Amino acid sequence: MLADIMLGQYFPGNSVIHHLDPRTKIISTILLISSIFLAENYQAYSVVVVFIGFCIALGGIPLVMIFRSLKPLWLIIILTLLIHIFTTTGIIIYTLGPLTVTQEGLRLGFLMSIRLVFLIIVSSLLTFTTSPVALTDGIERLLKPFKAIGLPAHELAMMMTIALRFIPTLLEETDRIMKAQMARGADFTSGNILRRARNMIPLLVPLFISAFRRADDLATAMEARCYRGGDHRTRMKQLKITGKDWTAYAILLLVIGILLVVRIYVK
């Protein structure tokens, strides 16, 4: 289960999306996530599916990685579907005791569940196609205007990227500790919720110790390399907006325009 969590993982590649400026990818991700909420019917969802499929193909991301990024959240997706099915009023098509399934509930539950899938895939595409270093530089440059009001742009960008980068590492460490504890007779699956929570203590204590040790090692390594962030930090690769980035913005704005037209004129 833990091995299937793909959040924060980077998939190296040589695609057009990989070569886009990280600022372009961050802004485009925010705009695309916001525009997904414009979709309210099947026609609009079809447009989103085509565009996301186009992005996946253009980025060269294997479908296996996309499905693996969705796998840990299937429970939330199914729960979202069931909540809308059994709580939305409308034309009743089936009754199961005190619960009723309505036509409107089925439609709304399906659309909300698919919307959640879209949000996960779009967010995953950003980390799949952007290295941690590029993501840090992009976030820092986007937050740079806020330095005028005292916002520590570089420090915030660094903390966000380090946290994102160490998610796979901590998940791998958790899986290793869990297997070691299970080999010694620990049980993390049986019993009620309270017992399972109590059984997690032997897992959480060494995990926190390992996380603090890694944080200390990272800080020592940065100091040993005389790392100093902020205005005087130099970069091997300078960020530069090119024609590819403007083309990406144009395509995204076209998709958003289509979604607006479909929302207004298609009922």
At 27-60, the pLDDT tens digits run 999 999 998 888 888 888 999 999 999 999 998 8
What CA–CA distance (Å, rounded) separates 243 from 20?
10
Q: How confident is the model at residue 201 (pLDDT cuts 50, 70, 90)?
A: confident
Tally of structural domains, the chain: 1
* In-domain check, residue 253: yes
* In-domain check, residue 82: yes
* In-domain check, residue 197: no
Structure-block tokens of residue 256: 């958003």
* In-domain check, residue 55: yes
Q: 80-106 b/e with 16+ CB inside 10 Å = b?
A: bbeebbeebeeeeeeeeeeebbbeebb
Is residue 187 a contact partner of residue 201, using CB atoms and an 8 Å limit? no
Is residue 231 a contact partner of residue 3, using CB atoms and an 8 Å limit? no
* In-domain check, residue 234: no
* In-domain check, residue 146: no
> 100 pairs with which residues across the strands?
95
pLDDT in tens, 247-267: 999 999 999 999 999 888 876
Distances (CA, A) of 135 to 15, 27, 154, 162, 185: 17, 12, 12, 10, 42
Is residue 65 a contact partner of residue 6, using CB atoms and an 8 Å limit? yes
Range of the structural domain that residue 89 is part of: 2-130+239-265
* In-domain check, residue 111: yes
* In-domain check, residue 159: no
pLDDT in tens, 210-236: 888 888 888 888 888 777 666 666 666
The residue among 236 and 245 whose pLDDT is bigger is 245
DSSP string, 192-247: -HHHHHHHTHHHHHHHHHHHHHHHHHHHHHHHHTT---STT---SS-----HHHHH
